[in-house]
Structure 1
């Protein structure tokens, strides 16, 4: 499917949907978040007001409207989001006409929480790495999950939700923050790990004119405001993967001799990659190692015949 990802942020939901094999375009109004999103996944993101783009050419929409006003973690109604103090875009997102529509948001501190189904990030990995509650509204096929929904899983040892204020100490009580789980401040790489991705190299380059402390805060906010990659991937995997036509670089295609290549990996393969990747390692490196190992075994098998 061709999916529009509205309020793209740093591109984490888009990355998950791309890993599920879909062609995605992100739309984000914040220049810094848009800049970061260009380093994530395909980097296919547009700097634009997500409420003013033409969505007629898309098969599906994923929307993650700003949630700071509704978040239970934001006890002081503090937000630097460009959208946050404007209209509530939740209703706008829920009224989009697309047949496949995911609208993701937090559980509201004020109480309106019946517009979608409740999910916990801990449901989406065999070995959960984060307890993060979200509501997903819209129209979509149910994703595959590993356990029924619970707000918390007291019998499981799971890190609490990674938050946008992670690098600043946060507004939520300590026992609800990941720092309480770790017993110290977390690194950016650890936060990214719990969100299901590796910090892109391009994120470490501080833009000219931006103090390093301010850039560090922008990075932590981008990670904490994102959708867990493995969560978005599970929703995307409920639908057939897209295919693209590819040719070897530098060679002209002969007639219609072009291979259709699936963009998706199976859920089991992503599970294996998630289990193997470490906080300081890129998913692409693990995938490369698995491919090389597979090629090596294939050669040995052929030699033995």
Structure 2
């Protein structure tokens, strides 16, 4: 049995470089649940006892005595990364007829990675905006929703909420539709500008500074929720909610307390092979891209979730 030989050389390093370098600036998943490298598919992580971090023992030491001993404890959890990836077949004919300077296989790798990245954005959005992942939370309705400019007071609601967790959240995550309503709210403009004005709006950095946050993340992505073959139905990936979380980027060698993170094994995966059975009469090139990751919520008490902030 003979092995099919590709009619054109496969530039594997180029495909790998495209996949690793790909970044969609509209995606915020990596910012809200930062990536942490793990050495194996199955890994362990420590969920610390938060109370111990704030319990002060007797620190006085006698002239000839030893200091009191303390020990940090926690629960060691086991998890495994999950493989996420897609293939696209590029016919040999497409490669032959490609315009000068265009690499159909590199284009396919970028397209496949875009969809894998969007899939991650959807998973993270579902995690961040899932009430079950937050101990501190409230559902707004009617006049308390931030789209009610006459009766609601989002600034008071947010500042009060930020004082609820034992560690003050430092990142705000909000969907674009809710963000637009929030920055045009008269009470928000008045609080940030301090001029009593009710026109115009505020920027992310202005509001972040006013609320003493490190960053405000606004979810921009859309996803088609229609089944294949049906008419497109675009929906916002990030809904009409807002979450305030404590973010500290952990590592394999340091202990960190953070609302959530993403374990990642290795670099992004890329592979290109010749497939004589797909891609038309002459076969084609199967371009594969993906990654091995696992999103984890590790401290649901270090956040505050507002559900349905706008009507």
- TM-score bin, normalised by smaller chain: under 0.3
Structure with greater contact order relative to length (CA < 8 Å, sep ≥ 6): 2
Q: TM-score, normalised to structure 2's length?
A: 0.20
Higher strand share: 2
